[in-house]
Amino acid sequence: MDWIVVIATVVSAVAYGIIFWWKARQTQDPPPLFDAYKFAATLLVAIAIGVISAFSGATFNEEYFLLQMGAYAGYVAMVETILKALVGLLGRTWPTSFPES
């Protein structure tokens, strides 16, 4: 198992989470606060994807660094969106630091 794949997936998820949080801060009024629960959920999804990728034989290639980082962020976004949809179908909400009253 290549732990660099897991680390790269987590780094990609961190970048994905921060970029889209910052985008929301720039475009929404009032700007949303940083949601630690959502960020932690994103990191857990990333760890799972990284471990699955590493166990399936994926290796990290320095030549394609940006391509792999973008792909890992895309995997995280896709799987997280699917999980949110499934959680919504079950009548639940995705974990958040700011539950609505």
Domain positions in the chain: 3-89
**pTM of full prediction above 0.75:** yes
Give the dihedral sign, CA 44/17/96/80.
negative
- Residue 3 makes CB contacts below 8 A (sequence gap 6+) with 54
pLDDT in tens, 24-43: 889 988 888 888 888 888 89
Q: What's the CA gap between 23 and 6, in Å, rounded?
A: 26
Q: Write out the two tokens for 37.
A: 């629960």
**Per-residue pLDDT tens digits for 55-95:** 988 888 888 888 888 898 899 999 999 998 998 888 887 77
Quickly list H helices, the chain. 3-27, 36-55, 65-89
Q: Extract the tokens encoding 68.
A: 């792999």
